[in-house]
């Protein structure tokens, strides 16, 4: 039995009862013979309450002091969790991000992990303790200031510790049973995925799946740490994310992993761009300088009769206004005609490593959308993903149609059959 | 203008408004040209709420994890205070006890400060920042674990930092105007003391005065750091505690500093102790081994006709049951007859360095009690203090009578006159 890293989110430790339930689960893993390292988030609404307090004393809370404030949240949950474990007769010690050796850069509120030096964790484990580590936080390499890792930071803490400690698996406990073939709120027939490759999971994460963040999966892939996403409420086996399926996971391997959707983006179309070298670069430089991440980018084929073209791209709605502002400012320099902004779009993505060698997949995908009467506005593909942009109103129907077409619905087993036909 | 350490208690930073008010006061000190280090406690009821949470997850919260939990409280208040100061246009940085270099022993929940190495605070000050430091907490020298200093710990943090940074003064902000000649809730005519010596303050603190704890005053005396106790609400000049009065403080110097009372103690009488060497030692060894601190100790003069004596002592009521238990266990070994336990007692103490050279003081003290019809059960004296134990019901009247007799009432100026008569 090796070392296991378990991560529990805020909803799993929302109150004293939740903490006691989680403590029991941790002790069970210890009793199974594992060395156990636990990464924990702040309790339930703690972080929101702290942010609220900060806004009451200052309209612009950010930076170093904001990190110092927020990290109080995990300090509370981890100490309580250690107490609850001791109360069950097992030894536990809690560690801040700094004590656990989570070394980051100095970018407050969204620091990146530079190194993990978990000497104290290793000692605590060797002495027979369960180690509880504060998620989401670290200490900056140069100034020794407390930092936070930004959104989804606790998952990243867990994977980084698992890598540094050479763990067997990083278990991410959450309030759903695992990763599904589609969002179960949109597709009631969505099935839990037993195993998915890092690559497919990365595509799902960047296509709108919320269960794991791209950053965390990327870290796990780099260090080859298997992730097991599962529910802290049910105790059922969840979804394994790893390089290769193991044991009976093999049987479940389909060519399509799932369908993701995303309605958090907007589309900007730059109309009437001179069709000559350097124009697109100038547009995207203006956006990049404002620190805005673009998603899909499409340039229309120029009509032969004109020297102008249109460039469309999608980006988070929250960055929309700022992007328009930046482009307007650069309008004369770039020389386009006008901008169109559309925040009523949705994106549907089909993800699966199997599609590389199955040329029929793309055709089936578009047939499904056509049959459902869904109009396509943009298309973008990778080796293992097809994404389209549609009207936001069409997303639910489009996801269901594609999910069903590729045999992912839970009352069929076509997923496997489909892979077998080589269609 | 030199360096000032200011300490604000939980009631001063109970909510966002309180934090903003305190921030303004801090900025005023900075504008006056001082380098400012601020020690802050947890907001209002935060500590109680955390203790409550701990009790929900485990019936026996204590030790390392309990300290980790409680220190979240100051983390929140100090970060918010730094934000509030920044919002007023001044630079501030917050530091945990560990970051501030407060090094302690490893006794969790009541650690002692071993050393203070405030290198980061000094750097922050030199860079023009106001430094905010978490009170009540440190880091253990050997294990690098987070510790707390126990009751009144934030005051001790403030004085220790003031000593390490060679501050001009340590200002303790609280919700009263300073140290009074008696508890104003008992003696409405009690006067605020302008200046009091370390020695007198130590006696008042150990005689029941709650404004400053003995430990904090002892630390200040050892490093000769003047303390200024004052209100965070009024901004008035409070009470200076120091070796020698300065400037106009001199005029206020009376031979009597004040009257303290304490109803938190109980009395144990060990009846029928063989009157031979070693018996008292055996009794007090049994108590000391249980880590119980005694206060007054009185041995009755043996009657010539018997070889037995009685020994009485006072101790905190909270330790009463445990002391009785320890003594009963040692009964056969020590060989006393019986134990009497009395928790309906009160202690009244008169404190003043002037009484050393004023022989009339003791007589006046007892006359005042006699005139008030108060019966005396135990007497104990030091060079600068007389204490008596009475019935708890008599305390209020006794304190008022003594306070009045020594001219401490606020509508007279007899305090000074009295000192002049040499009575």
Question: Mean of the pLDDT values across residues B97-109?
Answer: 95
Q: What is the C-alpha separation between B412 and A339, in angstroms, rounded?
A: 83
Question: Which structure tokens are listed for B27?
Answer: 């900025």
Name the A residues in 394-423 with CB < 8 Å from any B CB.
Answer: none
- Specify the pLDDT at position A18: 95
Q: What is the C-alpha separation between A90 and A25, in angstroms, rounded?
A: 12
- Specify the pLDDT at position A295: 85
Q: What is the C-alpha separation between A264 and A395, in angstroms, rounded?
A: 12
B146 pLDDT band, cuts 50/70/90, is: very high
Question: Which structure tokens are listed for B304?
Answer: 């010539």
Inspect the interface and report whether the beta carbons of B65 and A92 lie closer than 8 Å: yes
Higher-confidence position of A306 and B223: B223
3 state DSSP class of A140: strand
Per-residue pLDDT tens over the stretch A127-155: 999 999 999 999 999 989 999 998 789 99
Inspect the interface and report whether the beta carbons of B87 and A58 lie closer than 8 Å: yes
Contacts of A54 in chain B (CB under 8 A): 79-80, 83
For residue A414, pLDDT over 60 is answered with no
A305 is in an annotated binding site: no
DSSP structure class, residue A244: S
- A176 in Cβ contact with A226 (< 8 Å): no
- Specify the pLDDT at position A293: 83
Q: Give the largest Cα separation in chain B, rounded.
A: 80
Contacts of A68 in chain B (CB under 8 A): 75, 78-79, 82, 94
Residue of A nearest to B42 (CA): A72
Inspect the interface and report whether the beta carbons of A69 and B54 lie closer than 8 Å: no
For residue B213, pLDDT over 70 is answered with yes
| A75 reaches B (C-beta below 8 A) | yes
Inspect the interface and report whether the beta carbons of B72 and A79 lie closer than 8 Å: yes
- A11 in Cβ contact with A48 (< 8 Å): no
For residue B251, pLDDT over 70 is answered with no
Question: Which structure tokens are listed for B416?
Answer: 């000074």
What distances in angstroms separate CA B332 from CA B145, B326, B337, B338, B341, one per listed residue?
43, 12, 9, 11, 19
- Residue A224's CB is within 10 A of a number of other CB atoms, namely 11
DSSP A198-238: HHHHHHHHHTT--SS-HHHHHHHHHHT--EEEEETTT----
Contacts of B73 in chain A (CB under 8 A): 72
Inspect the interface and report whether the beta carbons of A69 and B50 lie closer than 8 Å: no
Segments of A232-344 assigned E as strands: 239-242, 258-262, 265-274, 297-299, 308-316, 338-342
Contacts of B92 in chain A (CB under 8 A): 65
| B51 reaches A (C-beta below 8 A) | no
Q: Average model confidence (pLDDT) for chain A?
A: 89
Q: How far is Cα of residue A387 from the mean position of the Cα atoms in its chain?
A: 17
DSSP structure class, residue A292: -
Inspect the interface and report whether the beta carbons of B71 and A75 lie closer than 8 Å: yes
B47 is in an annotated binding site: yes
Question: Mean of the pLDDT values across residues B163-170?
Answer: 97
- Flag the least confident range among A330-334, B92-96, B136-140: A330-334
Q: What ipTM score was computed for the predicted complex, to two decimals?
A: 0.78
Q: Give the largest Cα separation in chain A, rounded.
A: 80
- Specify the pLDDT at position A304: 57
User: Which backbone phi and psi does A258 adopt, to 5 degrees?
Assistant: 175, 180
| A268 reaches B (C-beta below 8 A) | no
Inspect the interface and report whether the beta carbons of B69 and A75 lie closer than 8 Å: yes
- Residue A379's CB is within 10 A of a number of other CB atoms, namely 14
State the count of interchain CB pairs (< 8 A) between A and B.
Answer: 107
Question: Mean of the pLDDT values across residues A117-129?
Answer: 97
What distances in angstroms separate CA A276 from CA A72, A329, B220, one per listed residue?
54, 21, 77
Of the candidates A345, A350, A402, which has an alpha carbon nearest to the alpha carbon of residue A187?
A402
Comparing CB atoms, the residue among A53, A60, A72 nearest residue B75 is A72
Measured at the CA of B73, the angle between CA B69 and CA B78, to 5 degrees, comes to 140
Using a 10 angstrom Cβ sphere, with 0-12 exposed, 13-18 middle and 19 or more buried, the burial of residue A400 is: buried
Q: What is the C-alpha separation between A107 and A127, in angstroms, rounded?
A: 35
| B77 reaches A (C-beta below 8 A) | no
Contacts of A65 in chain B (CB under 8 A): 79, 82-83, 86, 92-94
Per-residue pLDDT tens over the stretch B316-334: 999 999 999 999 998 988 8
3 state DSSP class of B199: helix
DSSP structure class, residue B302: P
Question: Which structure tokens are listed for A65?
Answer: 């002091």
Cα dihedral across residues B311, B316, B318, B319: positive or negative: negative
Question: Mean of the pLDDT values across residues A3-26?
Answer: 95
Higher-confidence position of B114 and B152: B114
Supply the angle between the helices B72-87 and B46-57 in degrees, to the nearest 10: 150
Residue of A nearest to B60 (CA): A87
Beta bridge partners of A42: none
- Flag the least confident range among A369-378, B97-106, B216-225: A369-378
DSSP structure class, residue B288: H
For residue A371, pLDDT over 60 is answered with yes
Higher-confidence position of A412 and B267: B267
A309 is in an annotated binding site: no
Inspect the interface and report whether the beta carbons of A65 and B83 lie closer than 8 Å: yes
B15 pLDDT band, cuts 50/70/90, is: very high
Q: What is the C-alpha separation between A179 and A201, in angstroms, rounded?
A: 9
- Flag the least confident range among A110-114, A152-156, B308-312: B308-312
B302 pLDDT band, cuts 50/70/90, is: low
Q: What is the C-alpha separation between A166 and A387, in angstroms, rounded?
A: 36
Question: Which positions ≥6 away from A308 have C-beta within 8 Å?
Answer: A272, A273, A274, A275, A302, A337
Inspect the interface and report whether the beta carbons of B76 and A19 lie closer than 8 Å: no
Strands across the sheet with A102-104, in order? A113-116, A102-104, A137-140, A146-148
Q: How far is Cα of residue A220 from the mean position of the Cα atoms in its chain?
A: 12
What distances in angstroms separate CA B130 from CA A35, B84, B174, one per listed residue?
44, 12, 20
Beta bridge partners of B6: B38, B171
Share of chain B above pLDDT 90, in %: 68
Q: What is the C-alpha separation between A330 and A326, in angstroms, rounded?
A: 6
Inspect the interface and report whether the beta carbons of B144 and A53 lie closer than 8 Å: no
Indicate the pTM of the whole model.
Answer: 0.82
A174 is in an annotated binding site: yes
| B147 reaches A (C-beta below 8 A) | no
B267 is in an annotated binding site: no
- Residue A123's CB is within 10 A of a number of other CB atoms, namely 12
- Specify the pLDDT at position A200: 93
Per-residue pLDDT tens over the stretch A257-280: 999 999 999 999 999 888 777 788
Q: How far is Cα of residue B173 from the mean position of the Cα atoms in its chain?
A: 14
Per-residue pLDDT tens over the stretch A195-245: 999 999 999 998 999 899 999 999 999 999 999 999 988 878 999 999 988
- Specify the pLDDT at position B71: 95
A267 is in an annotated binding site: no
| A148 reaches B (C-beta below 8 A) | no
Beta bridge partners of A133: A39, A95
| B42 reaches A (C-beta below 8 A) | no
- Residue B262's CB is within 10 A of a number of other CB atoms, namely 21
- Specify the pLDDT at position A250: 54
- Specify the pLDDT at position A60: 75
Per-residue pLDDT tens over the stretch B363-413: 889 999 999 999 988 888 888 899 999 999 999 999 999 999 998 988 744
Best mutation target among A80, A91, A124, A130 (most B Cβ atoms within 10 Å) is A80
Contacts of B101 in chain A (CB under 8 A): none
For residue A328, pLDDT over 50 is answered with yes
Cα-Cα-Cα-Cα dihedral of B290, B292, B296, B298, to 10°? -10
Beta bridge partners of B314: B267
| B252 reaches A (C-beta below 8 A) | no
Per-residue pLDDT tens over the stretch A35-62: 999 999 999 989 999 999 999 999 877 7
Residue whose tokens read 């071993």:
B114
Per-residue pLDDT tens over the stretch B39-74: 999 999 899 999 999 999 998 777 999 999 999 999
- Specify the pLDDT at position B245: 80
- Residue B302's CB is within 10 A of a number of other CB atoms, namely 13
Supply the angle between the helices B72-87 and A46-57 in degrees, to the nearest 10: 30
Question: Which positions ≥6 away from A349 have C-beta within 8 Å?
Answer: A203, A204, A207, A208, A259, A260, A261, A262, A385, A386, A387, A388
Distance from CA of A305 to the nearest CA of B (A): 59
B361 pLDDT band, cuts 50/70/90, is: confident
Distance from CA of A215 to the nearest CA of B (A): 28
- Specify the pLDDT at position B68: 95
Question: Which structure tokens are listed for A74?
Answer: 């995990």
- B5 in Cβ contact with B160 (< 8 Å): no
DSSP structure class, residue B129: P
- Specify the pLDDT at position A387: 92
Question: Considering only the top CATH level, what class is A3-253?
Answer: alpha beta
Beta bridge partners of A94: A132
- Specify the pLDDT at position B415: 39
Of the candidates B368, B317, B319, which has an alpha carbon nearest to the alpha carbon of residue B346?
B317
> In the CATH scheme, what is the code of domain B3-251?
3.40.1160.10
Question: Mean of the pLDDT values across residues B8-28?
Answer: 95
Q: What is the C-alpha separation between A329 and A310, in angstroms, rounded?
A: 18
For residue B417, pLDDT over 80 is answered with no
């Amino acid at each position: 039995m090796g070392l296991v890293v378990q991560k529990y989110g805020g909803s799993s430790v929302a109150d004293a009862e939740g903490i006691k339930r989680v403590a029991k689960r941790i002790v069970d893993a210890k009793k199974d013979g594992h060395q156990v390292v636990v990464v924990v988030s702040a309790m339930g609404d703690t972080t929101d309450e702290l942010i609220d307090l900060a806004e009451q004393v200052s309209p612009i809370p950010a930076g170093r002091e904001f990190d110092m404030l927020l990290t109080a949240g995990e300090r509370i949950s981890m100490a309580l969790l250690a107490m609850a474990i001791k109360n069950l007769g097992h030894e536990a010690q809690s560690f801040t991000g700094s004590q656990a050796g989570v070394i980051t850069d100095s970018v407050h509120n969204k620091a990146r992990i530079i190194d993990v030096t978990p000497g104290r964790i290793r000692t605590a484990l060797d002495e027979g303790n369960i180690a509880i580590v504060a998620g989401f936080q670290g200490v900056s390499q140069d100034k020794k200031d407390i930092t936070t890792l930004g959104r989804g930071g606790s998952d990243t803490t867990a994977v980084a510790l698992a890598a540094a400690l050479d763990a067997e698996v990083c278990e991410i406990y959450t309030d759903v049973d695992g990763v599904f073939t589609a969002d179960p709120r949109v597709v009631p027939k969505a099935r839990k995925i037993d195993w998915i490759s890092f690559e497919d999971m990365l595509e799902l994460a960047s296509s709108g799946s919320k269960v794991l963040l791209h950053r965390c999966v990327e870290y796990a892939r780099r260090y080859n740490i298997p992730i097991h996403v599962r529910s802290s409420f049910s105790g059922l086996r969840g979804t394994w994310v790893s390089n290769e399926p193991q044991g009976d996971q093999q049987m479940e391997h389909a060519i399509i992993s799932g369908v993701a959707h995303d309605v958090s983006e907007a589309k900007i179309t730059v109309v009437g761009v001179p069709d000559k070298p350097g124009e697109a670069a100038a547009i995207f430089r203006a956006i990049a300088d404002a620190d805005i991440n673009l998603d899909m980018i499409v340039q229309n084929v120029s009509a032969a009769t004109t020297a102008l073209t249109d460039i469309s791209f999608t980006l988070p709605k929250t960055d929309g206004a700022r992007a328009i502002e930046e482009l307007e400012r650069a309008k004369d320099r770039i020389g386009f005609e006008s901008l169109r902004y559309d925040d009523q779009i949705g994106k549907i993505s089909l993800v699966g490593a199997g599609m590389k060698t199955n040329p029929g997949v793309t055709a089936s995908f578009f047939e499904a959308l056509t049959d459902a009467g869904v109009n396509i506005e943009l298309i973008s593909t990778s080796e293992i993903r097809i994404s389209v942009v549609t009207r936001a109103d069409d997303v639910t129907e489009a996801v269901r149609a594609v999910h069903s077409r590729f045999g992912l619905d839970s009352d069929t087993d076509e997923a496997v059959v489909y892979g077998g036909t080589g269609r």
